[in-house]
Structure 1
Amino acid sequence: MARFDHDDRLGEIEARLERQDPEFARALAGGRPRRPREYRRGRAWAVLAFALVCLGTGIAIGHGLLIATGLVVAGMAGHLFDPPERRPHRPRPSQ
């Protein structure tokens, strides 16, 4: 009896994964999945490195606008490290 419960739960997890990220589900079924997009953070690291260069250079030469740019870009990099959660698309009710 418990075996069927586990099979049903696994089926539900599989269906949810297929709905949320069909490309990852197909790759997983093929045996060679790529990391999901939200876990690939190369762009965020590059933006953070640029921010630190701007900030460090601005501090070294005493240029306020460059310091401010570094801080703003660091905030943007922080946003890239924390991607939004996927929400299912729901059609708007027509009026």
Structure 2
Amino acid sequence: MTHSENKVLADIEAQMERSDPQFSRGLDSGQPCSPREYRRGPGWLLLALSLVLVVAGFALPQGLLLATGLVLAGVAQEYLFDPARGHTWFRRLHTP
């Protein structure tokens, strides 16, 4: 490979290391984990927490708990079921 091709590959490797270090370390060891875009554990945790808050909001007549649970359910569904998973809505808000 030429020097310029090696430089391009080194740049790609450095960018991958910065964006998802756990995935990069897994590739180096030969046992890659799934990329960050496919990790959904925190989303399921948010969904479970929102369910607990909604049930608590119904059991105790607390509208604030119920509303918090519903908002967290919306956040969790965005995290779990967004096909883009690149948070493009955030980028769209902040681009001129």
Q: TM-score, length-normalised on structure 2?
A: 0.56
Percent identity over the alignment is: 46
Unaligned 5+ residue runs, structure 1?
A: 1-14, 87-95
For 2:78 and 2:52, the matched residues in 1 are separated by 18
Deviation at 1:22, TM superposition (A): 3.4
> Across the two proteins, how many residue pairs are aligned to each other?
69
Task: Give the deviation of 1:31 after TM superposition.
Answer: 2.8
Residues 44-83 of structure 1 correspond to what in structure 2 (within 5 A)? 44-81=43-80, 82=82, 83=85
Structure-1 residue corresponding to 2:16: 22
Letter in 2 for 1:51: S
Q: Which has the larger radius of gyration?
A: 1
Secondary structure of the structure 1 residue equivalent to 2:53? helix
Secondary structure of the 2:32 match is coil
TM-score by length of 1: 0.57
Provide the aligned C-alpha RMSD in A: 2.6
For 1:54, the aligned partner's letter is L
Q: Which runs of 5+ in 2 are unaligned?
A: 1-8, 18-22, 89-96
The amino acid that maps onto 2:16 is P
AA at the equivalent of 1:84: G
Question: Which residue in 1 is equivalent to 2:86?
Answer: 84
Change (3 A) 1:50 1:35: same
